[in-house]
Structure 1
Amino acid sequence: MSRSDAQAMENEVVAGTAVPLRQMAALFALGSCALLNVYATQPILPDIAHRFGVSLGSSTWTISASTLGVAVAAPLAGAMSDRFGRKRVMVAALIGLILTTASCALAWNFPALLSLRFAQGLLVPFIFTAALAYIAEEWSGRTATTMNGVYVAGTAFGGFCGRFLAGAAASFTGWLSTFLVFAVLLTPVLVLTVCCLPMERRFKASASLGDSLRSVAKGVWDWRLLATCFVGASLLFQQVTSFTYLSLRLAAPPFSLTSIEVGALFVVFLLPVTVTPFFGRLIGTIGRPQAFMLSQFAGIAGIALTLSIYLPSIVVGLALSCMAVFAGQACATGYTARHAKGGRSAATGLYLTCYYLGGSIGAVAPAPLYVRHGWFGCVILIGLVALASTAVARAAWRDRTPRIKNEVKDIQNT
């Protein structure tokens, strides 16, 4: 790298660069893909149970099927992104996701729906891992942190749209038709990705797919990366547990909310859309471990508020909990992409596997606890998981060198 290149990089690290709005819009849209479909069935579990004649507990497998698909495919997705390039993989995955999403509307029985949901999940990590690696490679310093926040904010927006539209469709046109709506919404995301994101400039392809897969295996021996994977798993565990079982609580007496009313509560996902990009700046100011601890304490306070019998207090608590999860996600994904010096997508794939395994566990494992102790038991469990993840993050993310200045010096010395 020449001296002029190093100086340009230094300016980007210290001051940040003006990122074209169209690129920010494309990354925001890509983020929305991650959660648009994955949790869309949360507000309509009773409708699914009634439609296919299964128990309410069995209906939660429509959530776990998609998250398991993500967990299974994530390591391969990361390896393929490291081998074949970021944008190419994202575009191919988007095309596949549009087709499988539309196919969900044709599900003729419960096993068919689960199979299609699993197929949707298989495609999501090809977008997620490639996008995070793209951000880490194309931008540096606080600009990369901000862009990562924009992407994570997109996942929050997708989470809201998926849940709200599913609830609305169940009330007005039947819940199966919502998948056709999602397929239509994914089409402009594909257009934005193709037209607005330039081909990667700093990507260096791995020598072979085998080398990429070996990068995943190396991550298993990196305790800091494994600790971050645990943090990610705990975050999605918290979110899936809270929204799944709180939805069941609100659908039952004394609240007795309808599907569309439960879906409307997911408007709280719009708050992280505005907050998370600014939280990315806070990470650069006070440090990643401190920012994560702050987010988790806010989340614990929020989930405690949902014990109230008053709906407004529950909504406020749910909003705090939701913002805490996405703020924590910005901390964890940013660390993963920066920590992995080589094979970034492979490392992100390993993180994503653990992240969605946490979500799969959160969808079904708390069910016996909910049956025996109700929502109170779930709140205690979520709080304990948040405290455990905070302790792990503080141990793993300790700065070994000053952040920005040393990063600039390393660049100049190459």
Structure 2
Amino acid sequence: MTEFTPTLRSHAETRLIWALCLASMVIYINLYTLQGMLPSIAEHFDVSGAQATLVLSVTSFTLAFSLLFYALLSDRIGRLAPIVMSLWLLAASNILLAFAQSFDALVWVRLLQGILLAAVPAISMAYFKEQLDPVFMLKAAAVYIMANSIGGIAGRLLGGLMAQYLSWQSSMGLIFIVTFMGVAFVTYLLPRREIKPSVIKEKINWRRKAKQDFNGFMFHLSDTQMRLAYIIGGLAFMMMVNQFSFIQLHIMAEPYGLSRFQATLIFLCYLSGTFAAWLSAKWIVRYGSMPLFRVALCLMVAGTLLTLVDTLTAIVVGFLITACGFFLTHSCCNSFVAIRATSHRAKATSLYLCCYYLGASLGGPYLMLFWHKAEWNGVVVGSMSLLVLLLVTIWRLGKHQKQVIDVSEVD
């Protein structure tokens, strides 16, 4: 195996990677800041802590299906324009959060933001694959996922700080300022020229375009290995991101009694995932995806079970292990989908991320049922049921890959 030491080929490539990574951080700060404010949201809008988790679920739901729209749009008009336009509209939408007078109004604004948040994750991997060398694309993808993690951590910690020290209106004003500055810098960094998808150059009628789009989605959905990769990512995120929502409620209650900001420090456990994402490209090249999927599953099982030990230290260590396993899974899925997609690349990525965020949106209501029955112990039971499904899916993917290899050897 050759040494994995890709180098940048141009200044434009450097700017593109920095721009999309910063855009990713802006997206995940906006997506997850309110997750760090869940106890404050419950108090401000007079709803239960469990009900407040719906703020994340509804945003993930509209984000999931909007990914498909941006995949189609970017195949038509290019990757650059949808990213820039959606980011500026996202910055403007934060003004609406400051004027939300009820929980229902907050939910409606978050539904809108889910649509705007989808452009960057839907387009970025296809953008990388079209602009970068195939080998270096793996490294860029790993850095991009690491930026996702950093953005998620920053957003949640920012939310915890604001919930502790600022009013609702002041908090939303600060989010607007942070987003505005980030979007301005992304716009500056993004290269002004791009390699346009070939379909843009074709002069075809709308009926033929619609048929091509449908066939593009079906092309990937008819691929068994792609479908299984989509399910793996969705199940993993369904469990992990919602565990972080409910653990805040658990450690703010007795016997822990942490403050709002102290509870959000649990999100620092994402740093183990950040580190795993950074190393994942090298590991994927060296070992392949399937062994890493199995290792990641074991880590998520071990980390989840460890949180049942009735100490704060065990909970923190458990979440460090779980986050490492999850981001390793996510990196493997992202790379698997990007490399396997030889055509309709944005559609392949958007289908994966649609399942990924749909899992997040369904996981909140699903684990809420277990929370109401037995609080954190119930959440662990619900999580283990998802991990069993994940085990079956990984086993099926490995079995299918082995069958393909056996057939190719016979031929």
Long gaps (5+) in structure 1? 1-10, 402-414
Please point out which of 45, 70, 74 is paired with 1:77: 70
Residue correspondence of structure 1 range 100-179 to structure 2 within 5 A: 100-179=93-172
**Deviation readout 1:82-104 (Å, 9 max, x if unpaired):** 11111221111111111112321
CA distance in 2, matches of 1:45, 1:158: 18
How far did residue 113 of structure 1 move?
0.6
Task: Specify the alignment match of 2:369 in structure 1.
Answer: 368
CA distance in 2, matches of 1:224, 1:281: 22
Q: Does 1:327 align with 2:328?
A: yes
CA distance in 1, matches of 2:180, 2:164: 25
- Backbone CA RMSD of aligned residues: 2.4
Please point out which of 19, 26, 34 is paired with 2:19: 26
- Of 236-245 and 110-119, more deviation after overlay is shown by 236-245
CA distance in 1, matches of 2:7, 2:392: 34
How far did residue 234 of structure 1 move?
0.8
Q: Which amino acid aligns with 1:346?
A: K
**Deviation readout 1:267-324 (Å, 9 max, x if unpaired):** 2223333331211210111001111211221122122221222212211211121122
8 A Cα contact 1:16 1:141, kept in partner: no
Task: Specify the alignment match of 1:411 in structure 2.
Answer: none
Q: Which amino acid aligns with 1:124?
A: L
Residue correspondence of structure 1 range 224-235 to structure 2 within 5 A: 224-235=225-236
- Tell me how many residue pairs correspond in the alignment: 391
Task: Specify the alignment match of 1:405 in structure 2.
Answer: none
CA distance in 2, matches of 1:135, 1:179: 32
How far did residue 202 of structure 1 move?
6.5
How far did residue 182 of structure 1 move?
2.5
- Of 48-57 and 232-241, more deviation after overlay is shown by 48-57
CA distance in 2, matches of 1:94, 1:314: 36
Long gaps (5+) in structure 2? 406-411
Report the CA distance shift for 1:344/1:189 in structure 2 as closer, same or farther (over 3 A).
farther
How far did residue 188 of structure 1 move?
4.0
How far did residue 24 of structure 1 move?
3.5
CA distance in 1, matches of 2:43, 2:188: 43
Report the CA distance shift for 1:245/1:354 in structure 2 as closer, same or farther (over 3 A).
same
8 A Cα contact 2:91 2:183, kept in partner: no
- Of 245-254 and 203-212, more deviation after overlay is shown by 203-212
Task: Specify the alignment match of 1:186 in structure 2.
Answer: 179
Report the CA distance shift for 1:136/1:386 in structure 2 as closer, same or farther (over 3 A).
farther
- Of 251-260 and 263-272, more deviation after overlay is shown by 263-272
How far did residue 138 of structure 1 move?
2.0
- Of 42-51 and 204-213, more deviation after overlay is shown by 204-213
Q: Which amino acid aligns with 2:163?
A: A
- Of 166-175 and 185-194, more deviation after overlay is shown by 185-194
CA distance in 2, matches of 1:213, 1:32: 31
Q: Report the identity percentage.
A: 24
Q: Which amino acid aligns with 2:153?
A: F
Q: Does 1:46 align with 2:39?
A: yes
8 A Cα contact 1:62 1:117, kept in partner: yes
Please point out which of 169, 191, 205 is paired with 2:199: 205
Task: Specify the alignment match of 1:250 in structure 2.
Answer: 251
How far did residue 374 of structure 1 move?
2.6
**Deviation readout 1:187-207 (Å, 9 max, x if unpaired):** 343334333333333633354
CA distance in 2, matches of 1:160, 1:262: 13
